Amino acid sequence: MFNKVILMGRLTRDVELRMAASGIPVANFSIAVDRRFTKQGEEKQTDFFNIVAFRTQAEFVSRYFNKGKPILIEGSLENDNYTDKNGVMRYTCRVLADSVHFAGPKEGGGTTGGAPFSDSSFSPNAAPSAPAQYAQPQHPAATQPTAPPNPDLSVGSLEDFEEIISDGATPF
């Protein structure tokens, strides 16, 4: 089975950070994600997703994000149900965030590029990286362009390949 969600959108409200009974930080927030396509003559459609983050991800979101900020979420979907005060069964769907990343230009950096900036120090699965000002310079030879491939070493003609006759059986 596979349950993976990747969403990029903007926070619709400020993050609510709470502590669970076990002392684990839990952040609840929602994001708005524009649909990729719109029908001609109609307004752009937007979907809203409820997100839950735990532990360091929860602390990271509550510290660096607020209403309107772009965000990238990687996680999984979780369905839940409950009975409301009128006795009606309600069903909800939310995203459990595995990792959270910045999704817009770095503030105060003067750049307007669209490349995502992620804070890997808060991502449980990523190795921390040094900030750009501390990065090691590359060796000049490493940045030199490589020569184009030799045309004499290219793939031969179809006669160089053997035909495989299949009996229709799956090979695995």
Take residue 103 and report the two structure tokens written for it: 């999704």
Dihedral of the alpha carbons of 153, 157, 158, 164, in degrees to the nearest 10: -30
pLDDT tens for each residue of the chain, 172 residues long: 899 999 999 999 999 999 999 999 999 999 999 998 888 888 889 999 999 999 999 999 999 999 999 999 999 999 989 899 999 999 999 999 999 999 987 765 544 333 333 344 444 444 444 444 434 444 444 444 555 555 554 455 556 556 666 666 655 4
How far apart CA 26 and CA 61 sit, in angstroms, is 10
31, 12 contact by CB (below 8 A): yes
What fold, for 5-37+45-122? Answer: OB fold (Dihydrolipoamide Acetyltransferase, E2P) (2.40.50)
Q: Determine the 3-state secondary structure of 16 from DSSP.
A: strand
Dist CA 171 CA 162 (whole Å): 18
